[in-house]
Amino acid sequence: MSSLRSDFLQYVAQTSPEPIDLTVEKAEGIYLHTPDGRKVIDFISGICVSNVGHGAPEIVEALQAQAAAYLHTMVYGEAVLSPQVRFAQRLAELLGERFGKVFFSNSGADAVEGALKVAKKFTGRSRIVSCWHAYHGSTHGALSVTGNDELKRGYGPLLPEIDFIHFNQFDELAQITEQTAAIIIEPIQGAAGAIVPAEGYLEAVRKRCDEVGALMILDEIQTGFGRTGPLFAFQDYNFEPDILVLAKALGGGMPMGAILTRTEIISVIQKDPILGLISTFGGHPMCCAAGLAALNKLIDDQLMARVPRLEALLHEHLRHPAIVELRGKGLLYAMIFQDYETADRVRVAALERGLLTIGFLSIDNGLRVSPPLTMTDAEMVAACEVVVAACG
Ligand SMILES: Cc1ncc(COP(=O)(O)O)c(C=O)c1O
């Protein structure tokens, strides 16, 4: 007999041989509701997307108002559309002139692609430096700068002239040279299992870029919008990148990405040739309306102020001998286990007990902790108790 799950397996392209056994009927706050009446704690936020929780009325209302006005009318970057203007203006006001021009894209990988093109055109150079274990997306260019050879197997040839260095290895920064257009780097390596930068490392990257005239592209796709504490992770350190790439929580649950930089840099897409970076759907009015509502909620509800308290609760309550390390920053954490088998056993047991977590792309013995920032103290304690029980 056909069920929604069997139809999913028949008609929807799955991305792994054994997709997780979860059917979502409704999502509200920190919970995913299943058709059989189960309430599952979302401990990953759709991987750092639902930072302001599910079903926020502010976002739903913004989407309804925008849908009533218009959906898509004109390709991105030409006509004046108020949702785009107002969202870009708000981002620019929060970040200042250095990031005062916003190019909206369709996804994180799309933003990475654009940032790489802009860096090459602006510097007139072709080499890109990236980090081992970094993840920057699944399209050809973004995969080329992803530091995980396993993910690339069978998909070559990819982009040439990419130099990989090890995150946190100061001596390897010498590989950023006068031939380098840009380094692309995450402030905290997400897919590698929430690896935080060593003291002074990101500042040293910045210094090296300045020495050789390379641009610093900071991928805050996973770390942005309060995930690690401040609005953007880099604001906790003493440096500023040249280009910021955003996605995930940017759209408040709608699909979009963005490149934020100064006018001088992004202007290269306007001429010689014109239309150097274009997209039919980038900056879709619905996505911009939702994104602005989510950003306003994050700030107005002071959700970022909750992060240190929730992080402290994690350390207090997420303790079990099976968790050999708990690493990360803010609400971007990795629970590290002895091996893949243990991590996967805990993942399955947690889902049975009503909590969703998943693994990381570049390590196999970790599970994600990245719940919505709207979680209450009691919900965080309860979530930790589920994981501890699942550890056995
Ligand atoms: C740090 C980072 N960069 C880029 C991407 C790619 O974003 P998207 O999946 O929207 O293409 C991701 C997605 O997980 C990411 O975590």
Give the end of a domain, one of 246, 267, 300.
Answer: 300
Q: What is the pLDDT of residue 1?
A: 67
Q: Are 342 and 323 in contact (CB under 8 A)?
A: no
> Do strands 243-246 and 257-261 pair parallel, antiparallel, or not at all (unpaired)?
antiparallel
Q: For every one of its 392 residues, what pLDDT tens digit does the chain have, with 9 covering 90 and above?
A: 689 999 999 999 999 998 998 999 999 999 999 999 999 999 999 999 999 999 999 999 999 999 999 999 998 889 999 999 999 999 999 999 999 999 999 999 999 999 999 999 999 999 999 999 999 999 999 999 999 999 999 999 999 999 999 999 999 999 999 999 999 999 999 999 999 999 999 999 999 999 999 999 999 999 999 999 999 999 999 999 999 999 999 999 999 999 999 999 999 999 999 999 999 999 999 999 999 999 999 999 999 999 999 999 999 999 999 999 999 999 999 999 999 999 999 999 999 999 999 999 999 999 999 999 999 999 999 999 999 999 99
Does ligand 1 lie within 6 Å of residue 186's CB atom? yes
Does ligand 1 lie within 6 Å of residue 363's CB atom? no
**Among protein residues, the one whose CA lies closest to atom 10 of ligand 1:** 108
Does ligand 1 lie within 6 Å of residue 356's CB atom? no
Does ligand 1 lie within 6 Å of residue 136's CB atom? yes
Structural domain boundaries enclosing 199: 57-300
Q: Are 129 and 96 in contact (CB under 8 A)?
A: no
- What atom of ligand 1 comes closest to residue 112's alpha carbon? 4
Q: Residue 139 to residues 75, 100, 114, 135, 178: CA-CA distances in angstroms?
A: 22, 27, 12, 11, 27
Does ligand 1 lie within 6 Å of residue 219's CB atom? yes
Q: Any idea what the CATH number is for the domain that residue 283 is in? A: 3.40.640.10
| Stated pTM of the model | 0.98
386 lies in the same domain as 239? no
Distance 245 CA to ligand 1 centre (A): 10
Does ligand 1 lie within 6 Å of residue 84's CB atom? no
Distance 134 CA to ligand 1 centre (A): 10
C-alpha–C-alpha distance, residues 221 and 102, integer Å = 15
Domains in the chain, number: 2
Q: Residue 339 to residues 79, 336, 363: CA-CA distances in angstroms?
A: 53, 8, 10
Sorted by sequence, the CB contacts under 8 Å of residue 243 that are 6+ apart come out as 115, 118, 119, 182, 215, 216, 217, 218, 259, 260, 261, 265
Q: Which two tokens stand for residue 182?
A: 């840009």
Distance 266 CA to ligand 1 centre (A): 21
281 lies in the same domain as 320? no
226 lies in the same domain as 335? no
> ω before 230 within 30° of 0 (cis)?
no
Q: What is the pLDDT of residue 2?
A: 80
324 lies in the same domain as 366? yes
285 lies in the same domain as 367? no
312 lies in the same domain as 295? no
Does ligand 1 lie within 6 Å of residue 187's CB atom? no
Give the end of a domain, one of 282, 300, 318.
Answer: 300
**Among protein residues, the one whose CA lies closest to atom 4 of ligand 1:** 136
122 lies in the same domain as 214? yes
Give the end of a domain, one of 300, 331, 358.
Answer: 300
**Among protein residues, the one whose CA lies closest to atom 3 of ligand 1:** 136
Amino acid in the structure at residue 266? I
142 lies in the same domain as 251? yes
Cross-sheet strand order for the sheet of 366-369 = 325-329, 332-336, 366-369
C-alpha–C-alpha distance, residues 318 and 388, integer Å = 7
Distance 145 CA to ligand 1 centre (A): 12
- What atom of ligand 1 comes closest to residue 109's alpha carbon? 11
Query: Helix, strand or coil for residue 28?
Result: strand
41 lies in the same domain as 93? no
42 lies in the same domain as 61? no
Does ligand 1 lie within 6 Å of residue 101's CB atom? no
Does ligand 1 lie within 6 Å of residue 141's CB atom? no
261 lies in the same domain as 246? yes
Q: Any idea what the CATH number is for the domain that residue 34 is in? A: 3.90.1150.10
256 lies in the same domain as 382? no
- What atom of ligand 1 comes closest to residue 134's alpha carbon? 1
